[in-house]
Structure 1
Amino acid sequence: MRDVNLVISEQLSIPMSELRFAYVRSSGPGGQNVNKVNSQVQLAWKVAECQSLPADVLERLQAAQQGRISKAGFLRIHSDEYRDREKNREACLDRLRGMIAEVAKPPKKRRKTRVPKGVVEGRLREKLQRAQVKQTRRRPRLDD
Structure 2
Amino acid sequence: MNIENLIKELSFKAIRSGGAGGQHVNKVSSKIELTFDVENSSELTDDQKQLLLNKIANRLTKENVLILFCDESRSQHKNKEIAIKRFLEVIKNGLKKIKPRKATKPSKSAIRKRLKSKKKRSEKKLNRQKPDLE
Smaller-chain TM-score range? 0.7 to 0.9
Equivalent residue number for residue 132 of structure 2:
140
Q: Equivalences for 1:43-58 in 2 at 5 Å?
A: 43-58=34-49
For structure 1, the residue ranges without an aligned partner over 5 or more in a row are: none
Q: Is 1:73 matched up with 2:100?
A: no
Contact 2:32–2:69 (CA under 8 A) maintained in structure 1: yes
Q: Superposition RMSD on alpha carbons, in Å?
A: 3.1
User: Higher helix proportion, which one?
Assistant: 2
Residue among 60, 82, 90 paired with 1:91: 82
Alpha-carbon distance between aligned partners in 1 of 2:133 and 2:60, rounded to the nearest angstrom: 69
Equivalent residue number for residue 112 of structure 1:
103
| Distance apart, 1:31 and its partner CA | 4.9
Q: What is the identity, as a one-letter code, of the residue corresponding to 1:7?
A: I
Alpha-carbon distance between aligned partners in 1 of 2:34 and 2:77, rounded to the nearest angstrom: 13
Contact 1:77–1:92 (CA under 8 A) maintained in structure 2: yes
Residue among 1, 4, 7 paired with 2:3: 7
Alpha-carbon distance between aligned partners in 2 of 1:114 and 1:37, rounded to the nearest angstrom: 62
Alpha-carbon distance between aligned partners in 2 of 1:117 and 1:63, rounded to the nearest angstrom: 40
| Distance apart, 1:62 and its partner CA | 4.1
TM-score, normalization by structure 1: 0.70
* Sequence identity percentage: 29
Equivalent residue number for residue 22 of structure 1:
13
TM-score, normalization by structure 2: 0.74
Alpha-carbon spacing, 1:36–1:58, altered in 2? closer, same or farther (3 Å)? same
Q: Indicate the SS of the match to 2:66.
A: strand
Alpha-carbon distance between aligned partners in 2 of 1:62 and 1:138, rounded to the nearest angstrom: 65
Equivalent pairs counted in the alignment come to 133
Alpha-carbon distance between aligned partners in 1 of 2:21 and 2:132, rounded to the nearest angstrom: 83
| Distance apart, 1:44 and its partner CA | 1.6
Contact 2:12–2:33 (CA under 8 A) maintained in structure 1: yes
Q: Indicate the SS of the match to 1:50.
A: coil
For structure 2, the residue ranges without an aligned partner over 5 or more in a row are: none
Contact 2:16–2:28 (CA under 8 A) maintained in structure 1: yes
Alpha-carbon distance between aligned partners in 2 of 1:45 and 1:141, rounded to the nearest angstrom: 82
